[in-house]
Amino acid sequence: DAGVTQSPTHLIKTRGQQVTLRCSPKSGHDTVSWYQQALGQGPQFIFQYYEEEERQRGNFPDRFSGHQFPNYSSELNVNALLLGDSALYLCASTSLFYSGNTIYFGEGSWLTVV
C-alpha cells in the first residue's frame, strides 16, 4: 500500500512563473491538504480539498489555488511566483469519514524560486 506520493521532488522556477505540484493520497483517503514549510519553521496550512471542493483555506493569497480529481488526487498551483514562495510543499491525506483519523504526509516537493 503506497503512502502519500508527491511529484516532482525538486524544482527550480523563475520569479513570475507558474508551478504545479501533484499529490496522490494514501489508498482509502478522500481528503487532501497542502502545507507550506519554510526553512526552520513548522508547516503552514494552505488549503484542504474534499469531494473535489476547497473546504478550508489558510492565510494564503489567491495566487495559490488547487484542484482535486475524482480519484482524490490533487494539484497545487502557484501563479506569479515570488522569491518568498521558496519552500517545501507538503501534501497530507486522511479520511474525514473516520473522525479523528491519522493524517499522513508525503515526502514533499522542494520549490526554489530564483
Q: Is 75 in the site for other proteins (CB under 8 A)?
A: no
Q: Rounded to the nearest whole angstrom, what is the least distance from the CB of residue 100 to other proteins in the complex?
A: 4
Q: Is 68 in the site for other proteins (CB under 8 A)?
A: no
Q: Among residues 60 and 110, whose Cβ is nearest to other proteins?
A: 110
Q: Is 48 in the site for other proteins (CB under 8 A)?
A: yes
Contact at 8 Å (CB) between 7 and 107?
Answer: no
Integer Cα distance of 18 and 50 in angstroms: 24
Q: Rounded to the nearest whole angstrom, what is the least distance from the CB of residue 52 to other proteins in the complex?
A: 15
Which range in 14-22, 28-36, 63-71, 73-81 contacts other proteins by CB under 8 A? 28-36
Any idea of the CA torsion for 54, 56, 59, 62, to the nearest 10 degrees?
Answer: 10
Cell 471542493 sits on residue: 53
Integer Cα distance of 90 and 4 in angstroms: 10
Q: Is 25 in the site for other proteins (CB under 8 A)?
A: no
Q: 48: closest CA among 19, 63, 68, 21?
A: 68
| CA-based R_g, the chain, Å | 13
Interacting residues with other proteins (CB under 8 A)? 4, 6, 31, 33, 35, 40-45, 48, 50, 56, 88, 90, 92, 94, 96, 99-100, 102-108, 110
